[in-house]
Amino acid sequence: MQHNLPHRGDFIGREKEKKQVHEALKSRSFITTIDGIGGIGKTSLALEVLHECLVVSQNSQLVTNGVQKFDAFIWTSARDRELTINDVLDTIARTLEYPFLAQLSHEEKRHEIVKRLQEKPCLLIVDNFETVTDDAVQDFVLNLPEPSKCLITSRTQSLRQARAVSLRGMEKEEALLVIKNESGRLGINLEALIANERNFLLFYKATGGAPLAIRWSIGQIKQRGQSIEGVLNSLYGARGDIFEIIFQRAWSLLSESSRQILMIMPVFAASASKAAIEAASDVHGWDLDEGLGQLVELWLLEASEKLDESKRRYSLHPLTRFFAQNQLNENQDLERQARVRLAEFFESFARVAGGDKWLWERYDEIEDEKDNIFVLIAWCFENHEEVTGMNLTKAVTYFMSIRGYPNESKFFGQKALDCARKHGRTNDLAWLLVHGIGWREINGGDLDNGEAMIREGLTIYESSKDSEGILAALHNLTRTLRFKSDIDSAFLCYERGIALAETLGNKLKIALFKREWSMLAAAQGRLVEAKAGLESILPMQREIDAMTFVTTLAFLADVNLQLNLYDSAFQVGTECLELAKHLKKREIIAQISRILAYVETHYGNYQSAISLAQSYLEFYHGFGAFTKNVEEVKTLINELQEKLAA
């Protein structure tokens, strides 16, 4: 068997990718590429596949099991050297045992080589194709004659004609096997890494599952006596020759726009949209498109497979993030400018998506950016950009409430409130007191503090004669007083609020105040009146406002439960739960789950009741709110588990 393949080394995992390469070699595609970031294991995978093909090709008795046979394997590599078309042709000639062809002129040599490649199926391999600068090599590969084929490894995704197998980080289980293998090979005790799940997960995240990074890191422990923590610090700080190996050449190939984009990518906590990258990098138009394209081709950015450009997401491999962050650390002004631009972009983006209103239709768009936004808000408050942080907090206040991020809502809301006071921004202060942190406090925080905030906001709105602000404050104050069992004061607040709502002709606010009246009636034990009151406003809310409608359903289910109308409670509660899940209103999902847990308990459906009760606890446990309900639900679960065990 004619071949010049290098020896295969230790190879672990990658079964899925190995199968993909074998399938590609058996397909009608005459070019197969294995692409991915440096150090991800492209060459190792190629060699493993090639040696499996070689074994089958050498023994005609073996069953192929999906492995393609070839009559010859010709290995060429651009690693650590310039690879020219003449090098490729001479290597083919020697491997096919026609050394005299190397003495011919270039054109004659190419002609004769093509003839030999047409006579039998040969597999030409070009390793590190991205470093090839001789255009004639690419031309030769693209015009390779049948039945021969070509396998390429490359850090770029540049050959559109190829069938590509893209490599990403190894799975956790595979990475663990590599660690164990290196431990045995090097004779080093790595139990602190293998057996300690926390250490392993930190290590896996830092290396991104890249085999080269895993082996390099273990080598540092062996050769330099570094601790696991020391190795992790080296990775996070992008210190070590591994970063030169992986990124030095790629960085040198980047345009100025590509470098600018790559450097600002660490300001994103998660994947990023093109629009957000444009805002942060201040790179626009053609330069942005070319820059992103170059980074994706070089695997410095990974792009999702969304065809719709507005929905495509770009992300960094952990090692690339460390490298880019190291570059960014040398230009702190650029980082600050990028973060401020991004915060302003997300503020506008979130407002358009309704994040500061009782809307929900576009909240999934904000959800996609949630991690980026939350990290950015925290950065603003920590780095003397508090007004920008306050504006961004306001832009996602209702989103945080509806989608169930109470801790972030409270923390950022308080920071925003402090900023508004400090800078004398009265309108922002009133809004945050009533719609933001004040609302959060009365719905799961400190009721006394919440009441004080709502009253302060009401005073500001009254002084500016802001009728809509007054309405919102009165509604929230009515709820606060109800929660505090100050029913008489709550009724007085209700009467003032509904009178103003009726004067303004605000149907939705009228319905909200009627709902508060119903819950006040329920608090007094007038459950039948409360039920009738809630049912009277449902038709209008169902028609015009899903968010308030679903909350009213939850209240009605609770009243029905208190009336022991279990069938009605179940019917209303089931509708409420389905709608709340559709709206992704997580707090209502939790609340209605608690109600339905008691209904299912009455019916004897204990397993369903436990599941619903646990759903409630998942949201509220550790939140520090509604402690009495939380303890009651815990008791319910224990009782149900005892019944099931019996």
Torsion angle in degrees (nearest 10) through CA of 184, 187, 193, 194: 30
Which of 28-37, 333-342, 619-628 is least confident?
619-628
Percent pLDDT > 90 in the chain is 67
The pLDDT, as a whole number, for residue 155 is 87
Whether residue 591 is predicted with pLDDT greater than 80 in this model: the reply is: yes
Cα angle, residue 582 at apex, residues 578 and 584 outer, rounded to 5°: 110
Please state which of the ranges 26-30, 375-379, 606-610 shows the lowest mean pLDDT. Answer: 26-30
Q: Of 300, 279, 291, which is closest to residue 349 (Cα–Cα)?
A: 279
**593: which residues sit within 8 A by CB, 6+ positions away?**
577, 612, 613, 615, 616
Measured between alpha carbons, how far is 46 from 9 in angstroms, rounded to an integer?
11
* C-alpha–C-alpha distance, residues 632 and 544, integer Å: 35
* SS3 readout for 215-239: HHHHHHHHHHCCCHHHHHHHHHCCC
Q: What is the pLDDT of residue 572?
A: 97
Which residues 6+ apart lie within 8 Å of 544 measured at CB?
507, 508
Per-residue pLDDT of 502-511, as tens digits, reads 999 999 999 9
Q: What is the C-alpha separation between 261 and 277, in angstroms, rounded?
A: 7
Say how far apart CA 643 and CA 646 lie, in whole Å.
Answer: 5
C-alpha to C-alpha distance for 250 and 131, rounded to whole angstroms: 10
Spatial separation of the C-alpha atoms in residues 294 and 254, rounded to whole Å: 7
In the sheet where 302-303 sits, what is the strand order? 272-273, 313-315, 302-303
8 Å CB contact between 467 and 504: yes
Angle between helices 42-58 and 15-26 (to 10 degrees): 60
DSSP run (H or E) holding 623:
none
pLDDT single digits (tens) 292-322: 988 988 888 988 876 677 788 999 988 889 8
pLDDT, tens digit, 9 for 90 and up, residues 249-292: 788 889 999 999 999 999 999 999 999 999 999 999 999 999 99
Instruction: Give the DSSP H/E element, type plus range, for residue 536.
Output: helix 527-544
| For residues 515-543, average pLDDT | 96
Tell me the backbone φ, ψ of residue 286, rounded to 5 degrees.
-60, -40
When pLDDT is cut at 50, 70 and 90, the band that residue 174 belongs to is very high
Report pLDDT digits (tens) over 19-59. Answer: 999 999 999 899 999 999 888 999 999 999 999 999 999 88
Within 10 angstroms of residue 507's Cβ, the number of other Cβ atoms is 15
Q: What's the distance, Cα to Cα, between the start and end of the chain in Å? A: 71
Kindly state the percentage of the chain with pLDDT values over 70: 97
Token readout for 111 is: 């002609």
Residue 334 in contact with residue 263, Cβ under 8 Å? yes
Do 222 and 188 contact (CB within 8 A), yes or no?
Answer: yes
Retrieve residue 72's tokens. Answer: 């010859």
Place of tokens 């081709």: 297
Does the structure show a pLDDT above 90 at 242? no
Residue the block writes with tokens 């007038």: 526
Half-sphere exposure of 324 (CA within 13 A, CB side): 24
- When pLDDT is cut at 50, 70 and 90, the band that residue 237 belongs to is confident
Strand partners, 124: 74, 150
Backbone phi, psi, residue 528, to 5°: -65, -40
Q: What letter represents residue 207's amino acid? A: T
Tokens coding 3: 């071949």
193 has pLDDT over 80: yes
pLDDT at 158 over 80: no
Q: Which residue's structure tokens are 């009133």?
A: 430
Residues 417, 433: contact at Cβ < 8 Å?
A: yes
Q: What is the chain's mean pLDDT, rounded? A: 91
Section 379-397 average pLDDT: 97
Q: Is 33 helix (H, G, I), strand (E, B) or coil?
A: strand
Q: Is 49:25 a contact under the CB 8 Å cutoff?
A: yes
Q: What is the mean pLDDT of residues 106-110?
A: 90
Q: Which amino acid is at 240?
A: G
203 φ/ψ angles, rounded to the nearest 5 degrees: -65, -45
Query: What is the pLDDT at residue 478?
Result: 96
For the residues of 399-421, what is the DSSP string, one character each?
HHHHHT-HHHHHHHHHHHHHHHH
Selection from 26, 140, 27, 6 nearest residue 84 by Cα: 140
The token pair that represents 452 in the structure block: 């004080």
The average pLDDT across 99-118 equals: 89
Angle at which helix 241-253 crosses helix 318-329, to 10 degrees, equals 80
d(CA 238, CA 446): 45
Q: What confidence category does residue 585 fall into, taking pLDDT thresholds of 50, 70 and 90?
A: very high
**DSSP character string of 82-127:** ---HHHHHHHHHHHTT-GGGGGS-HHHHHHHHHHHHHHS-EEEEEE
Amino acid 421 reads: R
Predicted confidence (pLDDT) at residue 63 exceeds the cutoff of 80? no
Question: Looking at the predicted structure, is the pLDDT value of residue 594 above 70?
Answer: yes
C-beta pairs of 596-603 under 8 Å, 24+ apart in sequence: 596/557, 596/569, 596/570, 597/633, 597/636, 598/561, 598/636, 599/561, 599/566, 599/569, 599/570, 599/573, 601/636, 601/640, 602/566, 603/566, 603/570
